[in-house]
Structure 1
Amino acid sequence: MDQRPARSSGAEFYLGPVPTSSSPYLDSPSVTEAESARTSQPISRTSTSGNDARQDKASSFENAVLDSMHTSTTESVLSWHHFDSFQSLRNDYSSIFQLEQSRPSLSIKQSTVYPYVTSEDVDSILDSFEHNVNFWYPTMSRCQIERTRSLINSGVTLEDSIDVCVALLAMALGCASQVTTDMEKANSVSEQDTRRRISRRQMGDVYFNAALKRAYVAHLGVTSLSAQCLFYVGLYFAFLARPLQAWEYIGATAAKCMMLLSYPPNHETHEDKERTRRIFWSCYILESDYIAELSASPVSGISRMESSIPLPGAYNTHFAAAEEEQSSLYFLACISMRRLLNRVHQLLYAQGTGAALDTTRFPYIVAELQHQLDEWRNFLPPAFQFTIDTQPAANAASGFLRQRYLTCRSVIYRPYLMWLLSGSRGGNDDLSASTPSQEARKNCKACLDACLMHILNLRGFSQTVLVDSWICSLS
């Protein structure tokens, strides 16, 4: 397989197996660079200071930072004066944060009775975890999966250890995977299948309840396993559509990862290093997803550090080598798309520096960002390629990536729609609301077409339902 990287104007793409010694992605140093300072001193990171540096970073097409208070959230769109005629949006409106904050707290059962599971049940649940959660966010090694299998089959002890906590969370997420899997294929769900999914949901909640009682042990340690434990808690809260709690645990996970990457432990194994790195990138994706809608939320700082962290390397996550490679390539594609989305948000909608309202700037930025988006799509591995229509995707992974593509495209072209609706005259002949050029009208249509295509392609992909239900409901 051709392993050469392809780069274009700040976008990054990959055409082969995951690199182990160097990254073909822009701004990602080699593994050896990142592991060079094995002392008690922190690894130095490139920093910027001063107004000029901040301005350069804000206008850079290579910048993948998403700052707070950007103006591309759903609530920002709903605040447009064009929606003033919908009085309920103005008179009875509660912010998204207030709605989530007012929800009752998740109840924790005082006593824990573990579900009765056979070894076949355990195998089925962990297989579902491996093929779903560990495919999208490949952070658990095969050795860990086997340890989890052994621990659950031998009976969960009362010990409050990090290994037990991670094992319980893997079982909870495996049950959640069985609840959400194959939903995009069925037009209707049989009564028997509904009962099965409800049963697995209840079982997952029991395992999560037991793990949450032990989660304090993850806060007491600074290891890759403690970071993994917090990350899985955040994922299950995402499954429960609890964005504030999910965001809180993802932020705590990000803080641990940044500490471990800045001060590498002296006796850290390769598995520990790679686990930390993969959890870091998973947090980068998910925190950015939440900040995209809850823009006032304080950020962990993980996106400021991402350009100095190597991309995922060799890590044995699946029993089938082909699935392991596909998982790694999919993970890289998701990281690359999230970096591009962050560039879009930052260049067009950052508070104070965004170009979305500047008709002398945004046409050129939109053209470059669309070029990067096209490059991302063109260099997807064959298994994840998709067409821009309403035909079913070849698989759930390509279907999910198509939705990401359409979301990104709609946000890229939104400045044209904002300009047309404003009725203002732009700074060049093409952008006159009274007589818009054919190119300007085409770009307005591109925004609306992407939104429509995104709606028409909504499916119950397991990743969407398990992790992104809340985010998808807003976008």
Structure 2
Amino acid sequence: MFFLAPHQNILWRTPAINYITRFSHDSTIISPYTPHSQGLSTGFLYYRFFLTTDIQDDRVEYPRRRAIIACEVCRARKSKCDGAQPKCRLCNDLNAECVYRERGLKLEARDKLILEKLGQIESILQTSLEKEQLQTQVIKQLSLQQQQLQENLQEQQTHHLSGIITDGSDHSQLAQSSPELSHESPAFGRDKLSSNSHRDFVFSIPEHHSTPWFHLFQHPKIAPFLSSSPPSLVSPLSLETNRPPLQLNPNVLLDLSHIQPFVTSFFKNVNPFYAIVSPFSWQSYYRIALSRGFRAGPESVIVLLVLALGEASMEESLTLCRPNSPIPGLNFFASSWPLVTNILISNSIIDAQALMLTSAYLFYLVRPLEAWTILSATCMKIRAIIATAPPETLPHDEKEQLERIFWNALVFESDLLAELDLPHSGIELHEDDVGLPSGFISVPEQASLAPGSDDLWYFLAGIAIRRLLNRVHHMLYSKTTQMSISSCHPIVQELNFQLIQWYENLPAVLRFSFERRQLDNRFATVLRLRYFACQSIIWRVYVEVALQNEDLLRDPRIRMGASKCVEACLRQIEDVEEHQAGHIPYLWQGSLSIASHILMLMAVTTSAGLSQLLSYSLERMAEIITAGVRTIIRNGKLAPSIKAAAESLCDAQRQWAAQMRSVAVCIYIGVGTFVSVDVKCRMLHLVGEVE
């Protein structure tokens, strides 16, 4: 602030308050605002001295003294505080608590927003750190429990493999003394045991594993089934990549006058697989789509895909359709396809729901790579939604919808990764953040208009067995895992126990019978097939080692495990038409599963030891294998990867028949009879029909 001096026509600076304090002992200098009659000349001389000094030497600064910090009481009473410690004079007189505190800074609104945002970031980091510490503790506990279980079961073993194996006994003894060694073939690529790795406890498909059907050709007992230039050496992924694109006509005219049967069929036959569309929200979706002419918005995509999948579920499998006949639901899908490109660039729960339905119809069309492309986009949307709006902060129905989309994406991505070497989306990293679905909230008006019920039983059972299958892949078939067969026993027993628990906890409507008969419930049929698929892969390690060294079958545990694997493989393909029950979501996966089980049974029938575990005669086995090969050939028209599997099986069947013809002895069958050479010749003639 500047003032005009009384005797000088210049502007001069107001002195700091600490100068007033410094010269307060002079009675004539009271303040810079003292009237002229009360010592103005003396004060003016002081100010002139201050001004002159400041002008003469800019480097000389007037001394500053920090103002005394007033206590809270003096500050509130607006009185001068003497700053005495521990109590000032006023607080001492009032017998009050004397508290000295620095006066806070006056913050602008922008500063407050910055501080608030920094506080939120600090809170998020702290929460993430706590979660990471908790996960680390859980992983350590699980690892310790697994190690203790393994040690306890190994101590209970009454004999060792070294007393059983006649060939390679040195290797067996080393395997017992060091679990790092293995009886397993290097072709299956198990490098190191990594039981303490974090990835072992993430319930997703490992990035490198040996379970796809084409990996079986690397086994020394299965590789001879192929000729010198087998088609199976071509990667299924490259075959699907070079596949011609879909030919769609988005301008086709739709007949929306008779859509109610399609809607009813969807909620009855398709939605239980996915549980992706709330029957209580269907009327709302349809009204919005109708108002937009089915030409814009995710609601239009959802309605069109519900109609497409509903029409598809009313017809037989694509493998049974006549050549050049129209594909059920393709017109509805073609109309939705231009709208899909618009919702790919937006992030909302309903957009992710529409993309998941798009992927579901591509699975029906047996387009695995296109389905994976849309599924990956869905996974990215889900991860973005979870990062910005955690599920616990969402309203119930939005949270429920997000959970269902998440588990659909995780389950079907795992199905794809089990057969194709595709990149992971990383969606499995959010398993701890997303709970299991519990049901939508409906009001009576919505329930009365709903086209179906909100059935979650199959969906929850499918999630559970898919997670168990992923666990099996990690613990037994990851290429970063190497274990001796003796160290596999407790792991296999534990995984089989979990499979039994899964079956026993199924609801009565889905608890299938193990009898060899067809089931009336298509969802129970699909669950039974997935049960035997899981059982076969759990016990497959015993068949693999027994194929390399049949003397291992003298061990009752290995013999029992191999027997369970052989029986599960048989149950998978003895009635191959059962796989039609899941043709909407699982036609591609089921075809490749049949191919792998056929290869395993071919290898078993050529083994003198393992063939004794068969519950059927070789003639009946030839019929089962032939029917399975015919099914894969029929399905081969739907996808290049299935066609490659069919060609490989035909090639393997020719080599298998040649090996069987070279056997000039009778083979003992597990039921206790002998098959003569004449019967075997009839069997081989039956096998040759496919050729």
Partner AA of 1:76 in structure 2: H
Aligned to 1:443: 561
Aligned to 1:383: 509
Q: Contact 2:216–2:222 (CA<8 Å) still a contact in 1?
A: no
Instruction: Note the alpha carbon deviations across 1:23-71, whole angstroms, 9 max, x for none.
Output: xxxxxxxxxxxxxx999969848446899898435586x6422221111
The counterpart of 1:138, out of the listed 275, 294, 297, is 275
Name the counterpart of 2:487: 361
1:123 and 2:260 matched: yes
Taking a change above 3 Å as real, the CA distance of residues 324 and 89 of structure 1, as seen in their structure-2 partners, is farther
Q: What secondary structure sits across from 2:315 in the alignment?
A: helix
Q: State which of 528, 538, 543 in structure 2 corresponds to 1:417.
A: 543
8 Å Cα contact 1:403-1:454 kept in structure 2:
yes
**Count of residues in Structure 1 that have an aligned counterpart in Structure 2:** 410
Q: Could you say if the C-alpha distance between residues 365 and 323 of structure 1 is closer, same or farther in structure 2, counting changes exceeding 3 Å?
A: farther
User: Aligned-pair distance for 1:438?
Assistant: 2.6
User: Which stretch of the first structure deviates more once superposed, 208-217 or 137-146?
Assistant: 137-146
> Is 1:305 paired with 2:430?
yes
Kindly state the Cα deviation for residue 142 of structure 1 after the two structures are TM-superposed.
Answer: 2.4
Q: 1:164 aligns with which of 293, 300, 303?
A: 300
| Alpha-carbon distance in 1 for matches of 2:307, 2:348 | 21
Distance 1:470 1:163 in 2: 28
**C-alpha spacing 1:151/1:387, structure 2 compared with 1 (3 Å):** same
Any conservation in 1 of the 2:379–2:427 contact (CA below 8 Å)? Answer: yes
Cα separation, partners in 2 of 1:88 and 1:58, compared to 1, 3 Å = farther
What's the CA shift for 1:334?
Answer: 0.7
> Secondary structure at the residue paired with 1:389?
coil
Structure 2 residue matching 1:157: 3-state secondary structure? coil
Is the Cα contact below 8 Å between 2:267 and 2:453 reproduced in 1? Answer: no
- Residue 65, structure 1, aligned to residue 190, structure 2: no
Instruction: Please report how far the alpha carbon of residue 343 of structure 1 lies from its aligned counterpart in structure 2 after TM superposition.
Output: 0.5
1:31 aligned residue? none
Give the Cα separation in 2 of the matches to 1:155 and 1:114. 17
TM-superposed CA distance for 1:352, in Å, is 1.2
SS at match of 1:206: helix
Write out per-residue CA displacement over residues 389-440 of structure 1, whole angstroms, 9 at most, x where no aligned residue: 321124111111100100000000000001111228xxxxxxx53x622332
SS in 2 for 1:361: helix
Match of 1:350, SS state, is coil
Deviations 1:428-462 (A, max 9, x none): xxxx53x6223321211110110110112434566
Are 1:250 and 1:287, in contact at CA under 8 Å, matched by a contact in 2?
A: yes
Residue identity opposite 1:77 in structure 2: L
Secondary structure of 1:382 counterpart: coil
Q: 1:256 aligns with which of 363, 381, 395?
A: 381
SS at match of 1:136: helix
Shift of 1:279: 0.5
Secondary structure in 2 aligned to 1:467?
helix
Q: Is it true that 1:84 corresponds to 2:220 in the alignment?
A: no
Shift of 1:155: 7.7
Q: Does the Cα contact within 8 Å between 1:385 and 1:398 map onto a contact in 2? A: yes
Q: Does 1:470 align with 2:588?
A: yes
Which residue does the alignment assign to 1:392?
518
2:465 and 2:559 mapped to 1: Cα distance? 27
Aligned to 1:315: 440
Question: Could you state the TM-score of these two structures normalised by the residue count of structure 2?
Answer: 0.54
Q: Is the 8 A contact 1:67 1:299 kept in 2?
A: no
Q: Is the 8 A contact 2:217 2:223 kept in 1?
A: no
Q: Please, which runs of 5 or more residues in structure 1 have no aligned partner?
A: 1-36, 425-431
Q: 1:102 aligns with which of 225, 230, 242?
A: 242
- Bigger Rg over Cα: 2
TM-score between the two structures when normalised by the length of structure 1:
0.77
What residue identity is the alignment partner of 1:282? N
* Shift of residue 354, structure 1, vs aligned partner: 5.2
Q: Which amino acid aligns with 1:247?
A: W
Q: Which has the higher contact order (CA 8 A, sep 6+)?
A: 1
Aligned partners of 1:414 and 1:444 also within 8 Å: yes
8 A Cα contact 1:316 1:324, kept in partner = no
Aligned residue identity for 1:82: K
CA distance in 1, matches of 2:261, 2:308: 12
In 2, the alpha carbon distance for the partners of 1:292 and 1:211 equals 29
Equivalent pairs: percent with the same residue? Answer: 27
For the pair 1:341 / 2:469, whether they are aligned, the reply is yes
Q: 2-side partners of 1:389 and 1:164: how far apart?
A: 45
Indicate how the Cα distance of structure 1 residues 126 and 349 shifts in structure 2: closer, same or farther if over 3 A, else same: same
> Partners in 1 of 2:437 and 2:228 — Cα distance?
44
Determine the C-alpha separation between the residues in 2 that align with 1:375 and 1:308. Answer: 25
Give the whole-Å Cα distance in 1 for the aligned partners of 2:405 and 2:399: 10
What amino acid is aligned across from residue 379 of structure 1 in structure 2?
Answer: N
Letter in 2 for 1:80: H
- The secondary structure found in structure 1 opposite 2:259 is helix
Aligned-residue RMSD, C-alpha: 3.4
Aligned equivalent of 2:99: none
